[in-house]
Amino acid sequence: NDPSLAQAILGDDITELQNILRSHHQQRLQLKRKQEEELALLYADPFDVEAQKKIEAAIRQKGIDENWEAAIEHNPEAFGRVVMLYVDMEVNGVPLKAFVDSGAQSTIISKDCAERCGLLRLLDQRYRGVAIGVGQSEILGRIHVAAIK
Protein backbone atom coordinates (compact mmCIF):
# COMPACT_ATOMS: atom_id res chain seq x y z
CA ASN A 1 0.00 0.00 0.00
CA ASP A 2 3.01 2.28 0.30
CA PRO A 3 4.93 2.87 -2.95
CA SER A 4 7.66 4.88 -1.20
CA LEU A 5 8.28 2.02 1.24
CA ALA A 6 8.35 -0.49 -1.62
CA GLN A 7 10.82 1.69 -3.53
CA ALA A 8 13.04 2.07 -0.45
CA ILE A 9 13.05 -1.69 0.10
CA LEU A 10 13.93 -2.38 -3.53
CA GLY A 11 16.55 0.37 -3.63
CA ASP A 12 19.93 0.45 -1.93
CA ASP A 13 19.22 3.48 0.26
CA ILE A 14 19.13 2.11 3.83
CA THR A 15 18.89 5.63 5.27
CA GLU A 16 15.70 6.34 3.30
CA LEU A 17 14.21 3.02 4.42
CA GLN A 18 15.02 3.82 8.06
CA ASN A 19 13.45 7.27 7.72
CA ILE A 20 10.25 5.85 6.24
CA LEU A 21 10.00 3.17 8.95
CA ARG A 22 10.62 5.77 11.68
CA SER A 23 7.93 7.99 10.17
CA HIS A 24 5.44 5.11 10.11
CA HIS A 25 6.29 4.25 13.70
CA GLN A 26 5.77 7.88 14.79
CA GLN A 27 2.42 8.01 13.00
CA ARG A 28 1.28 4.83 14.76
CA LEU A 29 2.40 6.22 18.13
CA GLN A 30 0.55 9.50 17.53
CA LEU A 31 -2.61 7.65 16.51
CA LYS A 32 -2.41 5.41 19.58
CA ARG A 33 -1.85 8.42 21.86
CA LYS A 34 -4.84 10.23 20.31
CA GLN A 35 -7.06 7.15 20.76
CA GLU A 36 -5.98 6.81 24.39
CA GLU A 37 -6.78 10.50 25.03
CA GLU A 38 -10.22 10.11 23.45
CA LEU A 39 -10.87 6.99 25.53
CA ALA A 40 -9.81 8.82 28.71
CA LEU A 41 -12.37 11.55 27.94
CA LEU A 42 -15.04 8.90 27.46
CA TYR A 43 -14.19 7.24 30.77
CA ALA A 44 -14.52 10.64 32.47
CA ASP A 45 -18.30 10.32 32.11
CA PRO A 46 -18.99 6.56 32.10
CA PHE A 47 -22.75 7.01 32.59
CA ASP A 48 -23.21 8.84 29.30
CA VAL A 49 -24.95 6.45 26.85
CA GLU A 50 -22.95 7.69 23.85
CA ALA A 51 -19.71 7.37 25.82
CA GLN A 52 -20.62 3.79 26.74
CA LYS A 53 -21.25 2.94 23.08
CA LYS A 54 -17.89 4.39 22.08
CA ILE A 55 -16.13 2.59 24.95
CA GLU A 56 -17.77 -0.67 23.86
CA ALA A 57 -16.67 -0.07 20.25
CA ALA A 58 -13.11 0.69 21.41
CA ILE A 59 -12.98 -2.51 23.47
CA ARG A 60 -14.32 -4.53 20.55
CA GLN A 61 -11.77 -2.98 18.17
CA LYS A 62 -8.96 -3.69 20.63
CA GLY A 63 -9.97 -7.36 20.67
CA ILE A 64 -10.03 -7.43 16.87
CA ASP A 65 -6.60 -5.78 16.69
CA GLU A 66 -5.12 -8.24 19.20
CA ASN A 67 -6.61 -11.14 17.27
CA TRP A 68 -5.12 -9.78 14.03
CA GLU A 69 -1.69 -9.31 15.63
CA ALA A 70 -1.74 -12.89 16.96
CA ALA A 71 -2.72 -14.19 13.53
CA ILE A 72 0.04 -12.20 11.82
CA GLU A 73 2.60 -13.55 14.29
CA HIS A 74 1.50 -17.19 14.38
CA ASN A 75 -0.08 -17.68 10.95
CA PRO A 76 1.42 -15.09 8.56
CA GLU A 77 0.90 -17.27 5.49
CA ALA A 78 -2.85 -16.69 5.82
CA PHE A 79 -2.30 -13.04 4.86
CA GLY A 80 -0.29 -13.65 1.70
CA ARG A 81 -1.60 -13.94 -1.80
CA VAL A 82 -1.60 -17.41 -3.25
CA VAL A 83 -1.04 -17.83 -6.96
CA MET A 84 -2.93 -20.82 -8.27
CA LEU A 85 -0.84 -23.09 -10.46
CA TYR A 86 -2.35 -24.46 -13.66
CA VAL A 87 -0.33 -26.63 -16.02
CA ASP A 88 -0.83 -27.92 -19.54
CA MET A 89 -0.78 -31.71 -19.59
CA GLU A 90 -2.13 -34.78 -21.32
CA VAL A 91 -4.19 -37.48 -19.67
CA ASN A 92 -4.45 -40.67 -21.71
CA GLY A 93 -3.36 -38.63 -24.76
CA VAL A 94 -6.01 -35.91 -24.30
CA PRO A 95 -4.65 -32.36 -23.78
CA LEU A 96 -5.92 -30.66 -20.60
CA LYS A 97 -5.24 -27.70 -18.36
CA ALA A 98 -4.92 -29.02 -14.79
CA PHE A 99 -4.92 -27.30 -11.41
CA VAL A 100 -1.98 -28.28 -9.19
CA ASP A 101 -2.74 -28.69 -5.48
CA SER A 102 0.56 -29.59 -3.84
CA GLY A 103 -1.15 -30.44 -0.55
CA ALA A 104 -3.78 -32.77 -1.98
CA GLN A 105 -3.94 -36.38 -0.80
CA SER A 106 -5.26 -37.60 -4.12
CA THR A 107 -5.93 -36.45 -7.67
CA ILE A 108 -9.55 -35.78 -8.56
CA ILE A 109 -11.08 -35.72 -12.03
CA SER A 110 -14.66 -34.90 -12.99
CA LYS A 111 -16.84 -37.53 -14.63
CA ASP A 112 -17.04 -35.44 -17.83
CA CYS A 113 -13.26 -35.06 -17.98
CA ALA A 114 -12.71 -38.78 -17.29
CA GLU A 115 -15.15 -39.54 -20.09
CA ARG A 116 -13.33 -37.20 -22.54
CA CYS A 117 -10.07 -38.93 -21.63
CA GLY A 118 -11.55 -42.40 -22.12
CA LEU A 119 -10.96 -43.39 -18.49
CA LEU A 120 -14.47 -44.35 -17.33
CA ARG A 121 -13.86 -47.93 -18.44
CA LEU A 122 -11.18 -48.09 -15.71
CA LEU A 123 -13.44 -46.74 -12.93
CA ASP A 124 -13.39 -49.05 -9.91
CA GLN A 125 -16.75 -48.47 -8.23
CA ARG A 126 -15.70 -50.32 -5.08
CA TYR A 127 -14.23 -46.97 -4.00
CA ARG A 128 -17.52 -45.06 -4.16
CA GLY A 129 -18.17 -42.52 -1.44
CA VAL A 130 -18.82 -38.91 -0.55
CA ALA A 131 -16.23 -36.14 -0.40
CA ILE A 132 -17.04 -33.59 2.28
CA GLY A 133 -15.09 -30.35 2.62
CA VAL A 134 -16.18 -26.85 1.76
CA GLY A 135 -19.00 -28.52 -0.12
CA GLN A 136 -20.06 -32.08 -0.71
CA SER A 137 -19.69 -34.26 -3.79
CA GLU A 138 -20.21 -37.85 -4.75
CA ILE A 139 -17.12 -39.98 -5.40
CA LEU A 140 -17.97 -42.35 -8.24
CA GLY A 141 -14.96 -44.58 -7.69
CA ARG A 142 -11.27 -44.74 -8.37
CA ILE A 143 -9.08 -44.96 -11.45
CA HIS A 144 -5.95 -46.59 -10.11
CA VAL A 145 -3.50 -45.41 -12.78
CA ALA A 146 -3.62 -43.42 -16.02
CA ALA A 147 -1.04 -42.25 -18.53
CA ILE A 148 -0.15 -38.59 -18.02
CA LYS A 149 2.38 -36.35 -19.69
Burial label for 123, CB within 10 Å (0-12, 13-18, 19+), is: middle
Which residues is 86 bridged to in the sheet? 99
Q: How many CB atoms lie within 10 A of CB 149?
A: 9
Angle, helices 14-44/49-74, rounded to nearest 10 degrees: 150
For residue 101, indicate whether it is catalytic.
yes
Catalytically annotated residue among 88, 101, 112, 124: 101
Active-site amino acid positions: 101
